Amino acid sequence: MVVIGVFRLLYMGLENQVTPSLTELRPEHFDSAIRHAMTVKKLARTTLSPWGERLAMIASILDKHRLTPVLLEWENPIPRQGSRGGSEQAARGDKKAKKERAEKLPKTEVLVYLAALWVNYEHIEEKDKSLLCMAIILLLAGFRMDEFVGLDINCIPTREEYEQAELELDPQTGVYIKPLRIRAWAKKKAEWDEKIVPPAAVDTVYKVVERLKALSAPHRYTTKLLLEEGKWDKFAEFDDDDLLTAKQIQTLLGISGHSTSNTITAIKRLGVEKATESSNRNTLFRVGDIHEAASDAYRERVALIKDGLGHEGLAIPIWRFLTLRYHNQYTPKERLNVFVEPLSGTQIQDFFRGRDYITRIQKSGVGGEQRRIESVFERYSFTELEGMTETVRTHQFRHLLNTMMQESDMFSQEDIAKNFLRTNTQDNDSYNHQVEPKKYAERNRHIQESVLKKLNIDAEQAKKVVQRFPLLSKEELQHDLDESGSYHFMDIGRCRHDYTQSPCGMHYSCLRNCINYKREKGNTTEIDKITARLERTEQQMVLANEDADDDFTGANNWYLNHKELVEGCKAALAIEDDPSFAVGGIIQVFPDGIDNCEEEGDE
């Protein structure tokens, strides 16, 4: 809706408002639009900021594709408010910043309490289980509330698929890992995206998804039957033309009481008419009419997502959601259990923060005691956490993880934005509640300078040393120099090639008797690549041999060169059949070879 409003403001400044063209826009149109929003529409400052952000986004896209007569280069003049997690933050390190940190991040007691609930999962109430799973996922992955609500049964691969997946090189640590990716609908980008689960949290995430699948199974069955077959599962055992009495329906729906009047009223509210066979003493309803009315009412209720969440490329049907509940489930109003919906904001708030509410008696003015829905922190008693009344907002977990990534000094701003499924890095600072003003390296710059001065080297020289030698003990460093060197990783293996140099320009020289070439026994990726190279080269050699017979200039030398490559490929593959090498071992393929890397540098 914000984007539509922004375009309307832009079009107001164009001469042709009937068929406006974006190519007519100039910077003054954007200035006029934001002024109109401020002075005429009188938008609040907290609303103005996102409107300005949308204007800046439109200008950026138009500039990128050169769609206007002049570059717009328009920036949002309205900074984000601190109340929106904005950039107007307290100076790092002062009392205000520390107070803000305390408010934005979840309390330690909250995290301990949630951990205690997770350990006692089997003993908590059924209504709390899916929301506890939500708390754990938010804490581990930092999803927005709406991103969590859209998770589906296939958001992560099966355990078997995960175990069989190939290892990937982690750019942060330089070691091979097996990352678990969890798929979610990134609302701000309006597309499907993935988050990498921390290795230590993989087992927990699988447990969460497993529990959510079990909890949502009956809801998913009800939904699928209603949307795909137009049937209400409560009446699935009957034929459409069967007639049921109000008493039978009352029993099927589990509605208490001797009178059937409430049951008849509930069925009629769905739009079901009494069957013509009904009498004054015996109200009958046709099962087919109940199915049709329930299905139509449900389709209307979930109209926005009845065709699935997503887009043409991937639309997840609602019956695959993990976060489903029946309307009014676990409340005194629970009756029909027909309308299945994703977790609502009210249900989530009731779990995390509780809620005071006004009863009908209070609304009537008669009086009555104040009522409250207690939060999960109020309803359970742990001796170790006696008297704890802390509450938490779902967004606080996101603030916590963002701040932890900032404080780790391991991630770029782009890495952090990607992890939280953001469109850009703009929001990173809004969620950053570091008390110290700078990164660790900068806070200790004076120590570094003092050490470097004593060593008589400058920062650039020190950087090169750090790049070449990781932080190892003296013994580990010597072993690394003797045995490993600095490796240049390739799809066919690895080469003792310095990371500080340019990438090796002699691709496949490794397979031509290079002493620096090593590969991992049993690595299927390396085997596939080398085998493919071998097959292609052998095919090319057949053609080259024919050309050599026909006296084509240079064909014979070309043939001999490729023959050497074929022999190298076979030698690299031969280690797979050598029992003296263990699977997973890093094997030097040509121990008596030549240093092709040095040869390249000498030329």
Structure confidence by residue, pLDDT tens digits, 381-391? 777 667 666 78
The mean pLDDT value for 8-31 works out to 80
State the Cα–Cα distance between residues 222 and 301, nearest whole angstrom: 14
| Whether pLDDT at 554 is above 60 | no
The mean pLDDT value for 17-22 works out to 74
State the Cα–Cα distance between residues 104 and 97, nearest whole angstrom: 10
**How many Cβ atoms are within 10 Å of 29's Cβ, its own excluded?**
20
pLDDT at 503: 46
Low-confidence winner among 189-193, 225-229, 381-385, 424-428 (lowest mean pLDDT): 381-385
> 186: which residues sit within 8 A by CB, 6+ positions away?
147, 192, 193, 421
pLDDT at 497: 52
**244, 287 Cβ separation under 8 angstroms:** yes
The β-bridge partners of 244 are: 285
The closest alpha carbon to 593, from 569, 568, 574, belongs to: 568
Rg for the chain (alpha carbons), in Å? 33
User: Which residue shows structure tokens 């996101």?
Assistant: 398
**How many Cβ atoms are within 10 Å of 571's Cβ, its own excluded?**
16
pLDDT at 474: 52
Greater pLDDT, 440 or 223: 223
- Domain coordinates of the chain in residue numbers? 2-84, 108-230+303-392, 396-441, 444-482, 485-602
pLDDT-derived band at 601, boundaries 50, 70, 90: very low
pTM of the model: 0.61
pLDDT at 85: 47
User: Which residue shows structure tokens 């676990």?
Assistant: 330
CA-to-CA dists, residue 576 to 88, 203, 455, 520, 584, angstroms: 61, 33, 48, 9, 10
pLDDT at 485: 43
User: Which among 305-314, 359-368, 433-442, 447-456 has the top mean pLDDT?
Assistant: 305-314
The interaxial angle of helices 459-468 and 445-455, nearest 10 deg, is: 90
State the Cα–Cα distance between residues 539 and 333, nearest whole angstrom: 75
pLDDT digits (tens, 9 = 90+) for 510-539: 888 888 888 889 999 889 889 988 888 888
- Token output for 65: 């594709």
Beta strand 168-169 with 324-326 is unpaired
What share of the chain in percent tops pLDDT 70? 78
Beta strand 284-286 with 309-310 is unpaired
The mean pLDDT value for 295-319 works out to 90
Greater pLDDT, 48 or 93: 48
Low-confidence winner among 174-178, 553-557, 572-576 (lowest mean pLDDT): 553-557
| Whether pLDDT at 479 is above 70 | no
The mean pLDDT value for 384-402 works out to 82
pLDDT at 325: 93
pLDDT-derived band at 496, boundaries 50, 70, 90: low
Beta strand 243-245 with 191-197 is unpaired
pLDDT at 544: 65
Count of alpha carbons within 13 angstroms of residue 198, beta-carbon side:
12
- Token output for 419: 């992890």
The mean pLDDT value for 39-46 works out to 78
> 48: which residues sit within 8 A by CB, 6+ positions away?
34, 37, 38, 78
| Whether pLDDT at 308 is above 70 | yes
Greater pLDDT, 456 or 82: 456
Beta strand 315-316 with 324-326 is unpaired
State the Cα–Cα distance between residues 7 and 363, nearest whole angstrom: 43
Low-confidence winner among 207-221, 247-261, 428-442, 498-512 (lowest mean pLDDT): 498-512
Greater pLDDT, 222 or 537: 222
The closest alpha carbon to 96, from 406, 88, 80, belongs to: 88
Distance of CA 593 to the CA centre of its chain: 47
pLDDT at 289: 96
pLDDT at 323: 94
Residue 143 DSSP symbol = -
pLDDT-derived band at 500, boundaries 50, 70, 90: very low
